[in-house]
Amino acid sequence: MANRRTKNIRAAFWGLFFLCLCATAAGVAFAGEDTHAREDQILKDILSRYQAIYTKYRGIESTVKSVTMEYDTRTGNIKGRTEIVMYRKDYFYGEPEIKVISYIKDGRKKNPARYRSWEMKQGFLVFDSAGPDRYDLKVAGREEISGRSCYKIEVTPKKATAQHFKGDIYCDTETLAIARTDGGLGKLGFPLKHYRAVFDYRHAGRSSMVKAGRVEVLVDVPIFYPRTLIVTSIDVLSSAYFE
């Protein structure tokens, strides 16, 4: 039972990571004062560009390094450390292909073939053609992210489930390229008590791709997995679309 619940915890991380990895889009520049009509146009422009990407490409292939630390929140003690390098081929609409390149558990090298990446049901993308039916989007002002002026877009699922994203997406005010996503799952199921993921993006031409992120998950499974904080830091070593 404990193993099954641990799988679900890791699945939540990788499912949200894929949603964020796929949040890449090109944009156009806007000038002048923000108005309600212009805010609507910003959202329409982002949606149209994402939909063009989802039509042209089948997904994103990437090499990802992740370091996961587990802490007992009652004592502050470290319960474990896992370091993984994996190749992922994530489809926008389909099951991912995954190959683990290296696996280190508590400082000891393990056989990569013995590591399993447990995946949850594929998440609902925010900016595809079905996005407006699944999410309410709002331009909620501007903030500076890593020295870039960005629109803050609030994303609220219309029907919250663990397959929905809930949080904020920050888009560069000049290009509309994604600078950061900050949020979690639309609904937390047992044994999750807290979930937050922040991903920063790099420019790739007129698009943006995930470059790094941090996920914090608090779980509580009495006896088997009590009050455990799981912190995963990720670095995307390389990424590109594939057709």
- Read off the pLDDT of residues 76-125 as tens digits, 9 standing for 90 and up: 999 999 999 999 998 999 888 999 999 999 999 999 999 876 555 778 99
Q: What is the predicted pLDDT for the residue at 9?
A: 47
Q: What is the predicted pLDDT for the residue at 203?
A: 77
For residue 108, the enclosing domain spans: 2-242
Q: What is the predicted pLDDT for the residue at 4?
A: 45
Between CA 240 and CA 63 the distance in angstroms is: 10
pTM of the prediction?
A: 0.84
**Ranges of residues in the chain whose predicted pLDDT is under 70:** 1-35, 117-120, 204-207
Q: What is the predicted pLDDT for the residue at 172?
A: 86
Between CA 27 and CA 152 the distance in angstroms is: 15
Q: Which two tokens stand for residue 230?
A: 């799981």
Contact 205/226 with Cβ under 8 angstroms? no
Q: State how many domains the chain has.
A: 1
